[in-house]
Amino acid sequence: MVVTGIKRLAVSFVLAGREANNSDRLCRDAVEALVRSYRESLHRFGTMPAVELAHYQVNRHLADGPVRRVLLKAERSSPLGSLKKLTAKTPAGDYRFVNRPPVLQRVGSGVSRRVLASLSEYRSTLGPNRRIVLDAYQPVDVAFKVVGTGSVGRRNYVVLCFGNGPQDPMMLQVKEALPSCYAPYRPEANLPMHEGRRVAEGQHRMQTTTDPLLGWTTIDEQHFVVRQLSDHKASIESRDLEGAALVEYALVAGEIFARGHARTSDAAVLSGYCGEAAKLDRAIADFAVAYSNQVAADYDQFRKAIKAGALPAQTVAA
Q: Could you tell me if residue 315 is inside a domain? A: no
133 and 54 belong to one structural domain: no
What is the residue-wise DSSP string for the chain? Answer: -HHHHHHHHHHHHHHHHHHTT--HHHHHHHHHHHHHHHHHHHHHHHTS-HHHHHT-----S-STTHHHHHHHHHHH--HHHHHHHHEEE-TTS-EEE--BTTTEEEPPHHHHHHHHHHHHHHHHTS-HHHHHHHHT-EEEEEEEE---GGGTTS-EEEEEEEESEEEEEEEEEEEEPPPPTTGGG-TTS---S-HHHHHHHHHHHH-SS--TT-EEEEETTEEEEEEESSSS-----GGGGSTHHHHHHHHHHHHHHHHHHHHHS-HHHHHHHH-SSTHHHHHHHHHHHHHHHHHHHHHHHHHHHHHTTSS-------
Domain end residue (candidates: 187, 210, 228): 228
115 and 207 belong to one structural domain: yes
61 and 89 belong to one structural domain: no
pTM here is 0.72
Domain end residue (candidates: 169, 202, 228): 228
Q: How many domains does the chain have?
A: 2
Q: Could you tell me if residue 22 is inside a domain? A: yes
pLDDT at residue 216 in the model: 97
pLDDT at residue 258 in the model: 92
84 and 69 belong to one structural domain: no
Q: Could you tell me if residue 244 is inside a domain? A: yes
Residues of the chain short of pLDDT 50, as ranges, are: 231, 318
pLDDT at residue 303 in the model: 93
259 and 285 belong to one structural domain: yes
Q: Could you tell me if residue 318 is inside a domain? A: no
Q: Could you tell me if residue 317 is inside a domain? A: no
244 and 221 belong to one structural domain: no
Domain that holds residue 89: 78-228
pLDDT at residue 33 in the model: 96
Q: What is the pLDDT of residues 184-239, one digit of tens each?
A: 777 666 665 799 999 998 888 777 778 899 999 999 999 999 999 864 555 667 77
106, amino acid identity: R
pLDDT at residue 142 in the model: 98
Domain end residue (candidates: 228, 263, 279): 228
